[in-house]
Structure 1
Amino acid sequence: MSTYAAGFARPDRRSWAQPAEQPMSWHAVEAHRPTDELDGEVELAVCGAIVQVWGSQQWGRLSAGRSACAECQRRTAPALSQAG
Structure 2
Amino acid sequence: GHNSIACFSVDASTGRLSVIGQVPTEAVPSAFSLDPEGKFVFAAGSASGRLAAYRINSDMGGLTPLETYTVGERPMGVLVTSL
TM-score by length of 2: 0.25
Q: Counting strand residues as a fraction of each chain, which structure ranks higher?
A: 2
Which one has a bigger Cα radius of gyration? 2
Q: Counting helix residues as a fraction of each chain, which structure ranks higher?
A: 1
**Which one has more relative contact order, counting CA pairs under 8 Å at least 6 apart?**
1
